[in-house]
Amino acid sequence: MPATYGRHLLRLFEAESLLCGTGLDAPMLDDPDCRIMVRQALQYIHNTLNLADDPAWYLKWAGTLTDHFHGSTSIALLSAPTLGDGLDAFVRYFPSRIPYMDMQGRRDHDRFRAELFPLIDLGAATPLLVETPMIILQQHLDTVYGVDLGKAALSLSYPPTVYAARYLEYFKCSVSFNAHCNAFSIPTEWRSLKNIGYIESTWAHAVAQCAATMASSRERETLGQVREYLSRAFERDDERRPLPVLREVAGALHLSQRTLIRRLRHLGTSYQDVTDDFLRARVRELLTNDGITVREIAASLGFDNPANFGKMFKRWFGTSPGKYRKSLC
């Protein structure tokens, strides 16, 4: 993946401390052709959490990222014919810059939602890595289209951060927590807004560059296929749904188990981590439906014994399913 974030962060943090544990150094990152592994990027992102005096430091930093900071993806966003075309390009191609994330665009009645899904457990860096692209989108809408951001909304899948009260300084829209997924939503009608900066040749070239970059992201594509297979496995209503094992998923993707393990490891994750992340997201979504009992949720996720589900849930969330459900109210 690109080392763009790392080069920018070197302006804010001392190099040796920032890059501790990554195997990288400043001269390596200065090379414009430098490509790094996901685990290296996540390591220096996590390092910033210990180095920064203010845990909310990244909110201001995200607002300083330049228009072309994300290469051809930024150019596509800026040069698109309409706001909708730009958003569709951003949603499709931005994850190629950050392969530990996936994005989806979805219409929900009179709203359009740009949804962001971590593909691996990002730990304490989750707010930083989720909110940064949301701030980029907000800035784009504000500076290029001048829309009333009070009509937009940001939903985050995690509990309020300790500095949540300060979000009013950085987000011009409403912000809610403990949602079933991370999403930036806008009125669907905004998608038809025309971009006065549209240049056909620039737009076509940027999209072509984005497509070429995305085609080379084999590991990220494999991770997305694993998540898609897990989703389909839990859509079957005619049978109990035990979690698919690694051998089954590898076979469905026409890969050897060793190849699948290697590709996931390249992204800094494992099949166990992917399934845990999937189940966490699934159970969080199901708990928002008061019409389903905890026992039924456990059974739907392949847990024959509700007690085992309770133990797993406490390991994931630090509390019981019942208490967690009440916290969502």
User: Chunked in runs of 10, what are the mean pLDDT values of the chain (329 residues)?
Assistant: 82 93 88 80 92 94 72 85 93 80 86 89 91 91 93 95 94 93 95 92 89 68 85 65 85 91 82 86 83 86 85 87 81
Kind and range of the H or E run holding 262: helix 257-266
Asked which of 193, 215, 237 is the last residue of a domain, the reply is 215
Contacts of 56 (CB under 8 A, 6+ apart): 161, 163, 166
Q: Are residues 235 and 158 in the same domain?
A: no
Tokens 């993806």 appear where? Answer: 73
Q: Are residues 225 and 133 in the same domain?
A: no
Q: Which domain holds residue 44?
A: 1-53
Q: Are residues 16 and 139 in the same domain?
A: no
| Three-class DSSP category at 156 | coil
Determine how many CB atoms are found less than 10 A away from the CB of residue 88: 18
Q: Are residues 284 and 260 in the same domain?
A: yes
Query: What per-residue confidence (pLDDT) applies to 165?
Result: 94
CA pair distance 154, 139, nearest whole angstrom: 13
Q: Are residues 24 and 72 in the same domain?
A: no
How many domains in the chain?
3
Where does 52-125 have alpha helices with state H? 57-62, 71-79, 83-93
Q: Are residues 209 and 225 in the same domain?
A: no
Q: Are residues 223 and 210 in the same domain?
A: no
CA pair distance 170, 202, nearest whole angstrom: 31
Query: What per-residue confidence (pLDDT) applies to 223?
Result: 84
Asked which of 215, 237, 270 is the last residue of a domain, the reply is 215
Please give the torsion angle defined by the CA atoms of residues 16, 19, 24 and 28, in that order, rounded to the nearest 10 degrees: -70
CA pair distance 107, 185, nearest whole angstrom: 9
Do residues 79 and 206 lie in contact, with contact meaning Cβ atoms separated by under 8 Å? yes
Q: Which residues of 116-144 are buried (b: 16+ CB within 10 A; e: fewer)?
A: bbbbbbbeebbbbbbbbbbbbbbbbbeeb
Its pTM stands at 0.68
Beta-strand (E) ranges in the chain? 101-108, 111-118, 153-155, 174-176, 182-187
Q: Are residues 202 and 275 in the same domain?
A: no
Query: What per-residue confidence (pLDDT) applies to 238?
Result: 46
Q: Can you give the length of the chain in residues? A: 329
Query: What per-residue confidence (pLDDT) applies to 212?
Result: 73
Tokens 């959490």 appear where? Answer: 49
Do residues 103 and 224 lie in contact, with contact meaning Cβ atoms separated by under 8 Å? no
User: Angle 200-215/83-93 helices, nearest 10 degrees?
Assistant: 20
Query: In sequence order, what are the beta bridge partners of 154?
Result: 175, 184
Q: Are residues 177 and 234 in the same domain?
A: no
Burial of 247 (0-12, 13-18, 19+ CB in 10 A): exposed
| Three-class DSSP category at 105 | strand
Q: Are residues 91 and 142 in the same domain?
A: yes
136 closest CA partner among 171, 97, 85, 177? 171
CA pair distance 149, 172, nearest whole angstrom: 6
Q: Are residues 230 and 293 in the same domain?
A: yes
Q: Are residues 79 and 138 in the same domain?
A: yes
